């Protein structure tokens, strides 16, 4: 890779990370302002923040771990189906439960990563066997 190309990737990555950081900071500020105006306690939003972080970690890890499968349609079908299941189940649980601790999210994240990876490997290995 040429020097100019490496430098352009660094600049792009820096701008991307800066944008993500600013977005997260603005979201936290807006959440705080909303809670102050509406009279909600900070603990009420903890479960939603935890779920958002869990979701980002799980899906980022899956995408990075299986980057070699990005070109296959089956990977993206599984990824999308799992995203819908994850969000649907997560929202239905959080609406009915009052969680003020991050412990359930700390325990659930690695378990979900392992489960999804195992399912993804199994589904994709079965798909490749049926194609052969």
Q: Are 60 and 113 part of one and the same domain?
A: yes
Q: Are 69 and 116 part of one and the same domain?
A: yes
Query: Tell me: the pLDDT tens digits for 60-96?
Result: 888 888 888 888 888 888 889 999 999 999 888 888 8
Q: Are 16 and 63 part of one and the same domain?
A: no
Q: Are 48 and 107 part of one and the same domain?
A: yes
CA 45 to CA 118: how far, in whole Å?
31
Look up the domain containing 112 and give its range: 42-131
CA 46 to CA 28: how far, in whole Å?
12
Segments of the chain with pLDDT less than 70: 1-6, 42-44, 99-100, 126-132
Q: Are 86 and 47 part of one and the same domain?
A: yes
């Amino acid at each position: 890779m040429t020097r100019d190309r490496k430098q352009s990737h660094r600049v792009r990555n820096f701008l991307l990370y800066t944008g993500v950081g600013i977005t997260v900071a603005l979201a936290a500020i807006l959440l705080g302002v909303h809670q102050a105006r509406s009279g909600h306690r900070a603990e009420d939003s903890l479960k939603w923040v935890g779920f958002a972080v869990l979701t980002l970690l799980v899906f980022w890890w899956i995408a990075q771990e299986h980057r070699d499968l990005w070109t296959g349609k089956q990977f993206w079908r599984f990824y999308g189906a799992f995203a819908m299941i994850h969000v649907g189940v997560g929202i239905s649980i959080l609406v009915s439960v009052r969680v003020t601790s991050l412990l359930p999210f700390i325990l659930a994240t690695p378990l979900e990563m392992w489960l999804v990876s195992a399912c993804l490997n199994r589904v994709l290995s079965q798909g490749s066997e049926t194609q052969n």
